[in-house]
Amino acid sequence: MLRFIVRRLLQLIPTLFGLSILLFVWLHRLPGGPEAAILGDRGTAQQRAEIRTTLGLDEPIWVQYGRFMKRLASLDLGTSIQSGRPVTEEFFTRFPATVELALTAMVIATVVGIPLGYLAARRRGGLLDFGAVTSSLVGICVPVFFLAYLFKVIFAVNLGLLPSSGRQTPGIDATHPTGFYVLDGLLTGEFDASWDAFAHLILPGLALSSIPLAIIVRMTRASVLEVLGEDYVRTAEAKGLQENTVRVRHVLRNAMLPVVTAIGLLTGGLLSGAVLTESVFAFGGIGSFIRTAIDFRDYPVLMGFIMLIATTYVLINLLVDISYSVLDPRVRVR
Amino acid sequence: MSLLTVDELTVTFTQRGKPDVRAVDGVSFTVDQGEVVGLVGESGCGKSVTSLALMRLLSGRNVKIGGSVVFDGIELLKLRSEEMRDLRGSQLAMIFQDPLSSLNPVVPIGVQVTEILTRHRKLRGEAARKEAAVLLEKVGIPDPTRRLREYPHQMSGGMRQRALIAMAVACAPRLLIADEPTTALDVTIQAQILELLKELVDSQGTALLMITHDLGVVAGLCDDINVLYAGKVVEAAARRPLFAAPTHPYSVGLLNSIPRLDAPRGEPLKPIRGSVNDNIAWADGCAFAPRCDHYTIECLQGPPALTEALTGHRYRCVNPVTTHEPPAVIATEDGR
Ligand SMILES: Nc1ncnc2c1ncn2[C@@H]1O[C@H](COP(=O)(O)OP(=O)(O)O)[C@@H](O)[C@H]1O
Ligand code: SF4
Ligand SMILES: [Mg+2]
């Protein structure tokens, strides 16, 4: 198992290397550059050239790439063009927010989606099944930002049940060793800060969970239906086992295999796709930062973000493979 | 009183947009304490559906079950599902055709054996594992403690079927239903599994309902044999009279189509002509008529009644076969 993990982590190196070359070239060939964003329409050709020289953008692309790689080797992603602060520092304040949000959404989607999908399959053709299938279709169709807005207006603005924006109530003075606010509170013993951060996660988390929830319900339902027709479920019934044993050990355990893969992929998708939800709730995640980075042609931030997301994807996939091999002895790795 | 009395069992599948399928059409038979009874017929004649109906394992809104199944004085078809759950695995057990697909691929064999011990015999932890090892040993699985930790894909087909048999006999059931238990196995393994089943039911006093399409299997095993055709019992008799003097043309055809060691070299097998697809509906006459050599016009006047001879030999045919040339005797002297 350990060897498998190490091998997979080593595979990360060539993956990131290839990806970095491709994207570096592609990014730098996009029309326009940071100078256009900085100067707007006003700048003269000379001013533009000066900015390009200061940023080192006038050098041949392979020299620039070499510099990027050299810095990367010491885990330095360079300096953000828009803010002038180190990219790693920018990420450190924002990425944990996005991860926290994506995980909240996935926990909601999984905890609600799997039982719902199971019940829908068990009562196939019944009212609950109809409701689950229809609402999951709606969940996939309704734009997430619209849901986010709806939740915000109803639960935060009108009913005042939950906070409407940000990650913590202004005035709460908590320390943040990791940048994951809920976790920070637990680590430092400031439990009310944890609770406050959690309350801020609920609405955006719910909104963001809609699509993964819908997908997990549908996948679980389809998968359970398939497993219910398997001979080993009939064997389990023939043994007179309690309904719960049949349900958990024989049906769900097998039905979870494809769902686990989906959960991994969906989590990865949420990390890079939470932009709109984050902006509705002024959540301060990485999404909006990346949006402006694109306008700014903030090359170091964009490259850094892509490396970060790619690494996260590989790590998530590794986790999926590990849980897969725990769940399914037939693919168990040595 | 018989241990199991199946009376006029019918199973109908309703399908939207298609005519209903009556897979089991008024089947009656009995199984006594410790007796071995065969249920024989071609593929698709309703054997599996009959056995699943007995076990109450057919579920869904598209299944209608009629008639009566009395086990040990209890009407199973009217039992609450929780009570049925208590009987299944403890009093009535079942093994299936395909041992690979019948085992859960992601759960160790040990858990699949101990779970039934926990459920019905309240054995847990080390006690359950010890008993599971004893059971595996009993069904001829070598090195049982190691095997308990293995998964189904790590075992051979024969070993898997032995493991399933171990689960089925774990609570010394009064009735064991075996639905084609050897069909998916290699020929050499088939004989071993049959031998094992025979030993187990003998030693535990378990009654066995042996379901097969292979008359060769029931020949060495069964006390009574029921021949099923298109959802109805067409002939029922004790083994000896059935093999010595089959009365229904379909049984005769089945016997003639078994390869026999005593047949002259080069003599071709005589399979029954046509296939079940040629059947007519029982309502119109004998379902076997289109394939039958003894067919006459009388065969088309409604379903033939079940005739019972003085000997207890029952057959459902208007032109029963009375002469046998050569006498189709393939199993007589095995001491049962
Ligand atoms: N779930 C079902 N829905 C509709 N028809 C079925 C179903 N299960 C079995 N049948 C039909 O019932 C008949 C008997 O099947 P089965 O008992 O499996 O035959 P066998 O004697 O080979 O075990 C077949 O014609 C089959 O098509
Ligand atoms: S009733 Fe007629 S068709 Fe049917 S088996 Fe007997 S002889 Fe053949
Ligand atoms: Mg069958």
Is it the case that residue A39 has pLDDT exceeding 90?
A: no
Residue A200 pairs with which residues in a beta bridge? none
User: B24 is written with which tokens?
Assistant: 């089991």
Determine the pLDDT at residue B324: 56
Domain ranges of chain B: 4-227, 246-315
- The more confident residue out of A284 and B57 is B57
- Pairing of β B314-315 and β B207-212: unpaired
Cα B244 from Cα A67, distance rounded (Å): 94
User: B49 is written with which tokens?
Assistant: 């559906």
pLDDT digits (tens, 9 = 90+) for B81-107: 999 999 999 999 999 999 999 999 999
Q: Which atom of ligand 2 is nearest to the CA of B234?
A: 5
Confidence band, pLDDT 50/70/90 cuts, at residue B277? confident
* Residue B197 vs residues A187, B3, B116, B138, B164: alpha-carbon distances, Å: 62, 19, 19, 11, 11
- A263 Cα–ligand 2 center, Å: 61
Can you give the pTM of this predicted structure?
A: 0.84
Q: What angle do CA A236, A238, A240 make, to 5 degrees?
A: 80
* Size of chain A in residues: 334
pLDDT digits (tens, 9 = 90+) for B209-240: 999 998 888 888 899 999 999 999 999 999 99
Is it the case that residue B335 has pLDDT exceeding 80?
A: no
A236 CB within 8 Å of a chain B CB: yes
Nearest CA-CA partner of A152 in A100, A205, A208, A203? A203
Lowest-confidence region among A53-57, B72-76, B156-160, B297-301 = A53-57
The ipTM value here is: 0.89
Cα A321 from Cα B9, distance rounded (Å): 49
For residue B93, which phi and psi values (nearest 5 degrees)?
Answer: -130, 165
Closest C-alpha to ligand 1, atom 1: B13
User: What is the side-by-side strand order in the sheet with B63-71?
Assistant: B18-31, B4-15, B63-71, B74-75
Confidence band, pLDDT 50/70/90 cuts, at residue B328? very low
- Amino acid identity at A269: G
- Amino acid identity at A61: I
Q: Taking the CA of residue B117 as centre, how many other CA atoms within 13 Å lie in the half-sphere pointing to its CB? A: 22
Q: What is the CA radius of gyration of chain A?
A: 24
For residue B151, which phi and psi values (nearest 5 degrees)?
Answer: -105, 160
- B254 Cα–ligand 3 center, Å: 17
Cα B126 from Cα B114, distance rounded (Å): 10
List, as ranges, residues with CB under 5 A of the ion ligand 3.
B 48
pLDDT digits (tens, 9 = 90+) for A158-191: 888 888 888 888 777 778 888 888 888 888 888 8
Which domains occur in chain A, in start order? Answer: 87-333 (1.10.3720.10)
Q: What angle do CA A40, A45, A47 make, to 5 degrees?
A: 70
B93 vs A contacts (CB less than 8 Å): 238-239
- Amino acid identity at A184: D
- The more confident residue out of A285 and B259 is A285
Most confident of the following: A17-26, A311-320, B153-162: B153-162
pLDDT digits (tens, 9 = 90+) for A234-244: 999 999 999 99
Cα A24 from Cα A19, distance rounded (Å): 8
For residue B14, which phi and psi values (nearest 5 degrees)?
Answer: -100, 135
Cα B293 from Cα B250, distance rounded (Å): 9
Q: What angle do CA B197, B201, B202 make, to 5 degrees?
A: 115
User: A276 is written with which tokens?
Assistant: 């709109």
Three-class SS of chain B: CCCEEEEEEEEEEEECCEEEEEEEEEEEEEECCCCEEEEECCCCCCHHHHHHHHCCCCCCCCEEEEEEEEECCEEHHHCCHHHHHHHECCCEEEECCCHHHHCCCCCCHHHHHHHHHHHHHCCCHHHHHHHHHHHHHHCCCCCHHHHHHCCHHHCCHHHHHHHHHHHHHCCCCCEEEEECCCCCCCHHHHHHHHHHHHHHHHHHCCEEEEEECCHHHHHCCCCEEEEEECCEEEEEEEHHHHHHCCCCHHHHHHHHCCCCCCCCCCCCCCCCCCCHHHCCCHHHCCCCHHHCCCCCHHHHCCCCCCEECCCCCEECCCCCCCCCCCCCCCCCCCCC
Chain B positions contacting chain A at CB under 8 Å are: 52, 55, 57, 61, 84-90, 93-94, 96, 98, 101-108, 111, 115-116, 119-120, 151, 153, 164, 167
- Pairing of β B4-15 and β B307-308: unpaired
- Amino acid identity at A152: K
Longest dimension (CA), chain A: 84
Mutation pick from A235, A256, A257 vs chain B, by most beta carbons of B within 10 Å, is: A235
DSSP secondary structure letter of residue A249? I
A230 CB within 8 Å of a chain B CB: yes
Confidence band, pLDDT 50/70/90 cuts, at residue B265? low
SS3 A79: strand
* Domain B4-227 class in CATH: alpha beta
Contacts of A302 (CB under 8 A, 6+ apart): A23, A27, A290, A293, A294
Minimum Cα–Cα distance from B89: chain A residue: A239
- B284 Cα–ligand 2 center, Å: 12
Cα A221 from Cα A208, distance rounded (Å): 21
Determine the pLDDT at residue B266: 67
Mean pLDDT of B251-263: 79
Is it the case that residue B334 has pLDDT exceeding 50?
A: no
- The more confident residue out of A221 and A164 is A221
For residue A176, which phi and psi values (nearest 5 degrees)?
Answer: -130, 80
Q: Which atom of ligand 2 is nearest to the CA of B319?
A: 7
**Cis ω on the peptide bond leading into residue B326 (within 30° of 0)?**
yes
